[in-house]
């Protein structure tokens, strides 16, 4: 029963995240509960969890990969590397405020572009999830699913993101803005020459942002189970 209860919470998150997911969740509930019959064995629950995670990660990817998905989300917005950020005030004093703003916007656009490629990688990780993995997630910490995805997908995501981010930053003139900032920094007394691997920096920040959103949403579904389950039952069965 505990596994089913926690699974209902996962499903409730998806209801709250996507208005178009009700039919999918209804099917999921039937599969897990067996309709009017019991279906609470670990395999059935694991299959149900996989469906819930497929929908949930899909919603997370859609969020971060949309226009301004990174840029207007202060929790994951990519800011200038610390080695440049310490000169931000001086750069703006030197008239480079627009260059700074364009530089930051371009990095976030690159992260948004790359994040579109995350969905199939999450789907693959979910397909490979064992019954033991699923049970561990259901019974584990509030970020257990996020930890699972970090362990199973980080390398694949990084390899997929890096070339896309590199191409996107070229298209969005990040290198040009970076060079312009470097030229401005030379006019700041005692400032060191900038030396940042921007492709690596933005790739890392894009991954951190993606997992932050996944983790944030996972935490929500575990914090208020009673309310979430009630909402789910009303949504799915209220008119039946």
What is the rounded distance in angstroms from the CA atom of residue 180 to the CA atom of residue 27?
A: 55
Token pair 């691997």: residue = 197
Q: Is the pLDDT of residue 225 over 60?
A: no
What is the rounded distance in angstroms from the CA atom of residue 84 to the CA atom of residue 36?
A: 61
Nearest residue to 62 (alpha-carbon basis) of 14, 21, 12, 118: 118
What is the rounded distance in angstroms from the CA atom of residue 225 to the CA atom of residue 10?
A: 9
Between the ranges 18-32, 86-100, 142-156, where is the mean pLDDT highest? 142-156
Residue ranges per structural domain of the chain: 2-237
> C-alpha angle 181/165/65, rounded to 5°?
110
pLDDT value of residue 77:
98
What is the rounded distance in angstroms from the CA atom of residue 146 to the CA atom of residue 38?
A: 29
Provide mean pLDDT across the span 105-113.
95
Q: Express each pLDDT in 115-141 by its tens digit.
A: 999 999 999 999 999 989 988 888 888
Instruction: Yes or no: say if 129 and 45 are a contact pair by the CB < 8 Å rule.
Output: no
Provide mean pLDDT across the span 213-235.
57
pLDDT value of residue 37:
44
Q: Express each pLDDT in 57-106 by its tens digit.
A: 888 999 999 999 999 999 999 999 888 888 788 888 888 888 889 989 99
pLDDT value of residue 161:
96
Residues 6+ apart with CB under 8 A from 138: 2, 3, 6, 7, 45, 49
What is the rounded distance in angstroms from the CA atom of residue 137 to the CA atom of residue 178?
A: 42
**Residue length of the chain:** 240
DSSP 3-state of 239: coil
Binned at pLDDT 50, 70 and 90, residue 232 comes out as: very low
pLDDT value of residue 227:
31
What is the rounded distance in angstroms from the CA atom of residue 178 to the CA atom of residue 199?
A: 12
- Residue-by-residue DSSP string for 141-172: -TTHHHHHHHHHHHHHHHHHHHHHHHHHHHHT
| pTM of the complete model | 0.77
The structure tokens listed for 158 are 């990084």
């Amino acid at each position: 029963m505990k596994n089913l209860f926690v699974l209902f919470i996962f499903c409730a998150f998806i209801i709250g995240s996507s208005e178009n997911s009700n039919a999918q969740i209804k099917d999921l509930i039937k599969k897990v509960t067996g309709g009017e019959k019991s279906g609470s064995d670990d395999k059935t629950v694991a299959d149900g969890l996989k469906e819930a995670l497929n929908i949930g990660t899909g919603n997370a990817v859609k969020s971060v990969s949309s226009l301004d998905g990174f840029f207007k989300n202060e929790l994951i917005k990519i800011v200038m590397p610390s080695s440049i950020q310490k000169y931000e005030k001086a750069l703006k004093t030197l008239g480079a405020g627009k260059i700074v703003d364009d530089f930051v916007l371009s990095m976030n656009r690159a992260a948004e572009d790359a994040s579109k490629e995350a969905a199939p990688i999450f789907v693959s990780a979910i397909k490979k999830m064992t019954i033991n993995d699923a049970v561990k997630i259901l019974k584990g910490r509030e970020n257990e699913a996020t930890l699972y995805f970090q362990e199973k997908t980080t390398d694949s995501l990084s390899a997929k993101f890096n070339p896309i981010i590199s191409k996107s930053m070229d298209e969005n003139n990040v290198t040009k803005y970076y060079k312009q900032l470097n030229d401005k920094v030379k006019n700041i007394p005692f400032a060191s020459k900038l030396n940042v691997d921007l492709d690596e920096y933005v790739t890392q920040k894009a991954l951190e942002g993606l997992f932050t959103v996944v983790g944030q949403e996972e935490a929500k579904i575990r914090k208020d189970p009673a309310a979430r389950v009630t909402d789910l039952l009303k949504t799915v069965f209220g008119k039946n």
